Chain A
Amino acid sequence: MIKKIVFQLVFFSFLTFEKVFAAESGGMPQLNPEFWFSQIFWLTLTFGLLYLALSKLILPKISANLESRKSQISDNIEAADKQREESEIKLTEYEKIISNSKNEAKSIYNQAREKALKDINAKKDILDKQIDEEIRKAEDEINLLRKDAPTKINKIAIDTASELTKKLIGAEVNNSNISAIVNDLFKRDGEKYYGN
């Protein structure tokens, strides 16, 4: 409500203000030459002083400000570029160091691995040799036993046969005859029993 009153007051004051001047006007005031010379004079004075003040005092300062800012910004950009280059160089150095140490670690690992393999192989060879020796010894023993076995068995067979014949028929039989028979049988069927 107060706003409205103030609003109306403003516009009514406008009205009264205009009424004061409305009476004395007629046509375009611009074409009334009464104050032309005054306007020319004051325009020349104010615009001239404005031009002098701007061109001598203010515009050079603004231009210097702009220039200094430009140069400062370009300097900063230059410095930033430089730092970036430096950091890139450092980065490549760092990467180089890392790759070098990686390679070193790899070679150390490989060496250790080869050494370990070599050790294992050597030990394995020694063990193999020992095992072979044992096996050979055992085989030799077996072979020896096997070689002896037929003669012993033949002897047992001959003794058994002579004992059996004595008990069965009560007569002495010549051992040499029996051994001839056993040998004969051994020759014929020995293969079957011993599988040599």
Chain B
Amino acid sequence: MAANPMTQFEVYRIGPEIKIGEFDISFTNASLFMVISSIAILIIFNIGSKKNSLLPNKLQLLAELSYTFVSKMIGDTAGSKARPYFAFIFSLFMFVLFCNMLGMIPYTFTVTSHIIVTFMLASFIFIGVTIIGFIKHGFGYLKLFVPSGVPAVLLPLIVIIEIISYLSRPISLSVRLFANMMAGHTMMKVFGGFVISLGIVGGWLPLSFSVALTGLEILVAFLQAYVFAILTCIYLNDALNLHH
């Protein structure tokens, strides 16, 4: 095969090298697509919220549907106490969704296909949720690791399992998104390579697969953003309403 399917994840510097002390903070293609995603979100939602007509136009409808969609998602999973965190979860959902979707355009870069990006988001959520939990419940938040109705013999084991599962939240959250994005884009690139190597005669089959995969990947892009946001809501729910 001619093309390495991993080269699409290559990060390269755009413009000059910028350094703060030891750290390299140069503007890269990843940075470019983060900026593009953010600006796209801001433009769409700014236009969508500018005019308040009784009969909304398309962008206003889009903005309002997204608003009610995220609002309903938070209300269903984390309850009314999660109201102050609405803006954060909305931004998170939109950012991940736009990064995923922009990555579906050929020749673009998928920001969320990098473990460091998803891990930063996930660990920020993890640390934030843990802080919220301790602020709301004090040391009572540790009761999260002690489920009710478990026999005393099993309790040490269960507590250890609960702690491990709690600590692995940022890893599972970040790896889920990163792996989905990377696998999807790699698979599409592999099928694209097959189209080239099989040529005009045999290339139609992998091409049709590629078309179908594009549809699937758009679904996955939406679904993973949704899963990312809804898991954040669930973690937030644990911190706000201690159920155990």
Query: B-contacting residues of A (Cβ < 8 Å)?
Result: 8, 11-12, 14-15, 18-19, 21-22, 25, 27-32, 34-44, 46-47, 49-51, 53-55, 57-59, 61-66, 68-69, 72-73
Contact = CB atoms under 8 A, between A and B. Distances in A.
Given A30-B115, A58-B42, A62-B45, A14 B196 contact: yes
B9 A39 contact: no
A54 B91 contact: yes
Contacts, number: 154
Contacts of B27: 38, 42
A42 B6 contact: no
Nearest to A68: B52
- Where chain B touches its partner, the secondary structure class is helix
B4 interface: yes
B39 to A, nearest CB: 9
B87 A54 contact: yes
Contact of A63 (B24, B26, B67): B67
Given A22-B3, A44-B120, A62-B45, 17 more contacts: A14-B192, A15-B196, A30-B114, A35-B13, A38-B25, A40-B116, A42-B30, A46-B38, A49-B38, A50-B42, A55-B91, A58-B42, A58-B46, A58-B49, A66-B64, A66-B67, A66-B68
A110 to B, nearest CB: 59
A18 B3 contact: yes
- List the 4 closest A-B pairs by CB distance, nearest first: A18-B3, A55-B87, A42-B31, A61-B49
A19 B3 CA distance: 6
